[in-house]
Amino acid sequence: MKRMEPIRKYAQLRKADTDEGELSLINAQSLRPLSAEEVFTFRLAACNDQVDRDFERFPEQTLEDFARLFTGRPVLMDHQWSAGSQTARVYAAAVEDMPGVPGGKQLVLRCYMPRLRGNADTIAAIEAGLLRECSVGVAVKRAVCSVCGKDNRLRVCEHRGGQIYQGQACHFDLEGAADVYEVSLVAVPAQPDAGIIKSKRYGGAEPTPPAGPEPWQDQALLELEKNRF
């Protein structure tokens, strides 16, 4: 069986408000209770159940599985695993209706970052709309052809995504959430239409999560201690 390949999808970031319910979810992730004034929160529409430009889609069940796996994960900058890039964390995730797409479902990651001096530039960039896209790296167990039902992770079938077979358009359902590797904030290119807004990472070395105590938490705690005195 082929090894599970990480898939990366790009999506959008939105600012969010923090109420008491959200704050209790954040505090389930933080090392000490944080007040609403101490956290900056935002929402990431990470991926959805629509057929994408690669003629793939995540069924709702896959999105539900991703929601469980993403909670507690760090939000990175530009796919780096270095401690300095861990600016935010996913404190809750849920499948929601897609605005403007009847019946469409999307995975929304709710994220927070402490309002520390070291995060001020990142927060300003989000508020200014400079950092408003994200990419997710995920792995699924199956890629099921919509025409013949074959799992193309096991054996590639004769159907091509986007082609019409007896009136039915072929796409691949990405089923069986195996893991989530990362969610990263991405700077928007200077030219709005420049470059690719979705890419995938197939093969090659996978990023290695940091070992031992999570450096982001250590750094955050240190900064909070400094701020207290």
**Where along the sequence are the contacts to Zn ion (CB under 5 A)?**
145, 147-148, 157, 159
Q: How far is the CB of 148 from Zn ion (least distance, A)?
A: 3
Report the relative pairing of strands 39-48 and 105-114 from DSSP bridges: antiparallel
In order of 67, 91, 116, the CA distances from 107 in angstroms are 7, 14, 28
CA-CA-CA-CA torsion sign (198, 202, 205, 211): positive
Residue 110 or residue 171: which is nearer to Zn ion going by CB? 171
Q: How far is the CB of 156 from Zn ion (least distance, A)?
A: 9
| Residue the block writes with tokens 């933080």 | 30
Contacts of 163 (CB under 8 A, 6+ apart): 169, 170
Contacts of 218 (CB under 8 A, 6+ apart): none
Rounded distance between C-alpha atoms, residue 22 and residue 24, angstroms: 5
Q: How far is the CB of 163 from Zn ion (least distance, A)?
A: 10
Q: How far is the CB of 138 from Zn ion (least distance, A)?
A: 22
Rounded distance between C-alpha atoms, residue 3 and residue 80, angstroms: 23
Look at residue 108 and give its three-state secondary structure: strand
Give the residue among 138, 104, 98, 132 at the shortest CA–CA distance from 9: 138
Residue 54 or residue 206: which is nearer to Zn ion going by CB? 54
Give the residue among 37, 2, 97, 8 at the shortest CA–CA distance from 227: 37
Q: How far is the CB of 152 from Zn ion (least distance, A)?
A: 7
Residue 2 or residue 68: which is nearer to Zn ion going by CB? 2
Residue 169 or residue 187: which is nearer to Zn ion going by CB? 169
Q: How far is the CB of 159 from Zn ion (least distance, A)?
A: 3
